[in-house]
Amino acid sequence: MPSSFGQSGIDMLIRKLGSIANLSDEERQAIERLPVRINHLDARQDIVRDGDMPSHCCLILDGWACRYKLLSQGKRQILSFHIAGDIPDLQSLHVHTMDYSLATMKRATVAFIPRENLKELSARFPNLAALLWRDTLVDAATFRAWMTGMGRRTAYERIAHLFCEMYLKLQAAGLAGDYRCPMPLTQTDLADALGLTSVHVNRVLQEMRGHALITLRRHTLVIEAWHDLLQASEFDPTYLHLEKRAAA
Amino acid sequence: MPSSFGQSGIDMLIRKLGSIANLSDEERQAIERLPVRINHLDARQDIVRDGDMPSHCCLILDGWACRYKLLSQGKRQILSFHIAGDIPDLQSLHVHTMDYSLATMKRATVAFIPRENLKELSARFPNLAALLWRDTLVDAATFRAWMTGMGRRTAYERIAHLFCEMYLKLQAAGLAGDYRCPMPLTQTDLADALGLTSVHVNRVLQEMRGHALITLRRHTLVIEAWHDLLQASEFDPTYLHLEKRAAA
DNA sequence: CGACACATTGACCAGACTCAAAGCTAGTGG
DNA sequence: CCACTAGCTTTGAGTCTGGTCAATGTGTCG
């Protein structure tokens, strides 16, 4: 599914915000007039780094990215995954120092929008500000879901939960269907996202295949038993706030 | 340290927002005119519940509260702690269904502000909207810090990290000083916040006392060795964005 | 002075980690 | 078009952090 974004790519943002609330022509035009710089990035490239004070925000047009944090001895915690339509460093609008790094997972296309222009936009159009704010709030809700998993769920449940989440997010973005979606993550990536080791992730994935829940091959996730997957993870999609779409 | 808030208590909010940016007289007055309902609550009382669609937001004037989520078999994950000046359910401004519950930890005084009035306020004063938005962003940064701990830190490091965080937050609110602060949490509360069991928390606290890092008695935390505590937890206060105060 | 909630202890257990060695597989370049 | 390689996945054996269960202290507040 090649995204049919125009030359500037910014209509990706219009489409996303427009899926939550209706935009006025004026608002739409203001977004279209945002100056953007498009970049094509390789896999596993940093976009912004922990401690930076970026002057631009990054809208993902294609590909996957993740937020992550590095600790001593090479320990890494992945904080979130991002797909087309996301602005993973939107918080730098109001909080200037990055407290995490942002990197691509696979080849990606991103649009950089100057912070100042976005800020001005949100000052001029309270409705757009509210939509962007809302986006950061859904983000926070996702953190809460991950925290709950890391604190109180087993490895099996956590992995199942992540698969449910990503499948629904990709579906809402029109990037998944028929119980199948891209999943360009290594087992090490999954481990770093879930607070596990790659060895353990490997074993649990085998167990899930054994239960005929999912298959994960060639960077594609196939959900064999959606209902069981939901049940295994006690998944409740409310926190994603995908208002306009059904969550099956 | 009795908070000297006026009859309405809303100046707590003015003080907090004013500590980030200067407020105009008009903005200050608009906040003062917000209708509020003050409530005194007992310890361990729910304020809002998972799944609710609250019509009011809750400003804490005194006491402690926490966000939490309940899973099957009585598993509980505490997502954050809140003190005077916090509005823990501010996100309901733009995302209507609660994805967690909110409860007091000890006796508390809270002010309920109608969602609609807050929304109107933020539509009319983009600067205030930005300050409130910023608050929710700092919140999200705190979630990221907790996630990192639960995913990649040992129990010892996690507990130390939480103590650093709470001490600095309380200090910024004028509720701590001299390496000592209130900590009205049971070991079970700590466990539920950190993804541990109370038995293990107990053992680790003993170990920390053994290392002369802290003492925790009668709901008071005394930090005996601040520098060692920072080091043990690899604590970096950036994410708290306590701009105006030093972080030692 | 009770009662009840909370803290502490002990013995045992298990989910997840570590380390290290093989297998695969998807790109790359010849 | 195939061989090579780097990165990823899989496996095994042993270990350990943190969990479970259950009993016993301890302190606080009505």
Facing residue for B71 by CB, picked from A69, A140, A152: A152
Domain-ending residue, one of A142, A172, A198:
A142
Give the per-residue pLDDT at B6: 57
Question: Does A147 fall in a domain?
Answer: no
Is the same domain home to A70 and A164? no
Do A158 and A129 fall into the same domain? no
In a domain, A232, yes or no: yes
Predicted confidence band of residue A8 (pLDDT cuts 50, 70, 90): confident
| Predicted local distance difference test score (pLDDT) of residue B117 | 97
For residue B197, being part of any structural domain is answered with: yes
Going from the C-alpha of B44 to that of each of B64, B80, B170, B184, the distances in angstroms are 10, 15, 20, 11
Residue B102: domain span: 4-142
Q: Which residues of B fall within a CB distance of 8 Å from A130?
A: 94, 122-123, 129
Could you tell me the two tokens for A112? 């950089």
Domain end (from A90, A121, A142): A142
| Same domain for B174 and B122 | no
pLDDT single digits (tens) A132-190: 999 999 999 999 999 999 999 999 999 999 999 999 999 999 999 899 999 999 999 99
Nucleotide nearest to B153 (CA to C1'): D17
Protein chain A, residues 142-171, with a C-beta closer than 7 Å to any atom of nucleic acid strand C: 154-156
User: Which helix (DSSP H) or strand (DSSP E) does residue B30 occupy?
Assistant: helix B25-32
Distance from CA of B49 to the nearest CA of A (A): 14
In a shared domain, residues A158 and A234: yes
Instruction: Tell if the CB–CB gap between B150 and A153 is shorter than 8 Å.
Output: no
Q: How far is CA A238 from the centre of its chain?
A: 16
A182 - beta bridge partners?
A220
| Average confidence (pLDDT) over B95-124 | 96
Q: Counting beta carbons within 10 angstroms of the beta carbon of residue A58, is it exposed (0 to 12), middle (13 to 18) or buried (19 or more)?
A: buried
User: A95 to chain B nearest CA, in Å?
Assistant: 7
Q: Are residues A12 and A120 in the same domain?
A: yes
A148 in any annotated domain: no
Count of C-beta atoms within a 10 Å radius of residue A231: 12
**Shared-domain flag, residues B135 and B62:** yes
- B109 and B222 part of one domain: no
**CATH number where A222 lies:** 1.10.10.10
The answer to whether some atom of strand C lies closer than 7 Å to the beta carbon of A188 is no
pLDDT in tens, B201-211: 999 999 999 99
Q: Is B238 in contact with A99 (Cβ distance < 8 A)? A: yes
Q: Are residues A40 and A71 in the same domain?
A: yes
Residues A136, A158, single domain; the answer is no
Same domain (yes/no): B160, B186: yes
Residue B99 carries which side chain, given as an amino acid letter?
D
What are the tens digits of pLDDT across the range B137-178?
999 999 999 999 999 999 999 999 999 999 999 999 999 989
> Chain A: residue nearest B143 by CA?
A143
The nucleotides of chain D lying under 7 Å from a protein CB are 7-13, 17-22, 27-28
Of the partner residues A51, A99, A134, the one whose CB lies closest to the CB of residue B94:
A134
Asked if residue A46 is part of any domain, the answer here is yes
**Nearest chain B residue to A239, by CA:** B99
C-alpha distances (whole Å) from B132 to each of A8, A133, A169, B38, B212 are: 31, 10, 27, 20, 39
Instruction: Please indicate, yes or no, whether residues A10 and A124 belong to a single structural domain of this protein.
Output: yes
- Does some domain include residue B148? no
Interface contact B151-A100, CB threshold 8 A: no
Q: End of a domain among A109, A142, A175?
A: A142
The CATH number linked to B91 is 2.60.120.10
Q: What are the start-end ranges of the E strands in A23-167? A: 37-41, 46-48, 56-62, 65-70, 76-82, 101-104, 108-114
Cα gap B162→A48, rounded to integer Å: 27
Is B147 a member of any domain?
no
Exposed (0-12), middle (13-18) or buried (19+): which is A1, by Cβ within 10 Å? exposed
Contact call for residues A92 and A71 (beta carbons, < 8 A): no
Give the total number of structural domains in chain A.
2
In a domain, B86, yes or no: yes
CA of B90 to C1' of C7 (A): 35
Q: Strand C nucleotides below 7 A of a protein CB? A: 5-11, 15-20, 26
Q: Taking residues A96-114, report their average pLDDT.
A: 97
Size of interface A-B (CB pairs under 8 A): 130
**pLDDT tens-digit readout, A53-78:** 999 999 999 999 999 999 999 999 99
Phi, psi of B130 (to 5 degrees): -60, -40
Measure CA to C1' and name the residue nearest C17: A197
- Separation between Cα atoms, residue B176 and residue B187, nearest integer Å: 21
**Tokens (6 digits) for A157:** 């449940």
> B134-143: b or e for each residue (b if 16 or more CB lie within 10 Å)?
bbbbbbbbbb
At residue B246, the pLDDT reads 42
Q: Using the beta-carbon criterion (under 8 Å), do A241 and B126 form an inter-chain contact? A: no
A200 touches strand C (CB under 7 A): yes
Residues B241, B199 share a domain: yes
Counting residues of chain A whose pLDDT is more than 70, the rounded percentage is 95
Q: Enter the pTM of the model.
A: 0.95
